[in-house]
Amino acid sequence: MLATFVIGLREGLEAALIVGIVAGFLRRRGDTAALRPMWAGVALAVLICVIVAVVLEVVSADLPQQEQEGLETVIGLVAVGMITYMIVWMRKHARSMRGELEKAAESALAKGSTWALVGMAFLAVLREGFETTVFLLAAFQSSTSPVAAGGGAALGILVAIGLGYGIYKGSVHIDLARFFTVTAVFLVLVAAGLLVSAVHTAHEATWLNVGQIQVADLSAIVRPGTPISSLLTGVLGIQPQPTLIEVVAWLIYLVPMLVFVLWPVRRPSRASATATADASA
């Protein structure tokens, strides 16, 4: 539940931030007529993402067991790749994200292009929705309790919607850099767990047969249906009987990504910023 809550919150907040800024600009401009097509575009993007999720789930359920394991492996690897890209991108743009969005919105309004803002909101929700669909499918497949995982995702999205509404009204101000850093640490753990689950299902699909030596027996701790199992397996991807290749994959991903996320970001000094501004002038 915790993993899907963070995924729903983080992905939902990115979309809510863009939609909130766009809606706020339209409201301040007095262009309330454009709000209707914007909300219609948001609803359409959500509907498309739901349809994609249902299709993927139905296709997966109709496959034979070995093919199901293979599809789960592919979805898991795609989710890990998306999470990794998102973490790297946010590491570089979190501090300037809101300013960049407001500048883009101002530019569209200056050109009289209200539909550009509507399209921005639609594409933002569609992109984040696709990412969330892949993330959550991978999380559900590796979760020991799909109901709890679904509840966590729904709660995270609802909180993100609430924050987005607060941003729209101007009553909520978030330190995006700090927020995305904290959630990035947790998402690195989630991604490492998804990678371990993908390695596990790849073996079940007979795609990966190396490094299958059992290195520990955690079955006394990681018992299916228990809260500890939900945390260790559902969030961290730790299996009851981890193999060598699973442990190696977990460490190879986890350690460098945590170093990358937690490494202090060097801010340009005032002198260098002034020199850059003078040079550009």
pLDDT confidence tier of residue 50, bands split at 50, 70 and 90: confident
CA distances (Å), 30 to each of 25, 38, 115, 236, in order?
Answer: 9, 14, 15, 48
What local confidence, expressed as pLDDT, does residue 280 receive? 41
Residue with tokens 């020991």: 144
pLDDT at 215 over 70: yes
> Given CA atoms 232, 233, 238, 239 in this order, what sign does their dihedral have?
positive
What is the percentage of the chain residues whose pLDDT exceeds 70?
A: 73
DSSP for 207-258 reads S--SS--B----TTTS-TTSHHHIIIIIIT---SS-BHHHHHHHHHHHHHHH
pLDDT at 253 over 90: yes
Helix (H/G/I), strand (E/B), else coil: 200: helix
Question: Which residue did the predictor score with more confidence, 167 or 181?
Answer: 181
Cα 9 → chain centroid: 8
Closest CA to 6 of 246, 173, 191: 191
| The amino acid at 173 | H
pLDDT tens for 130-160 read: 777 777 777 666 665 666 667 777 787 888 8
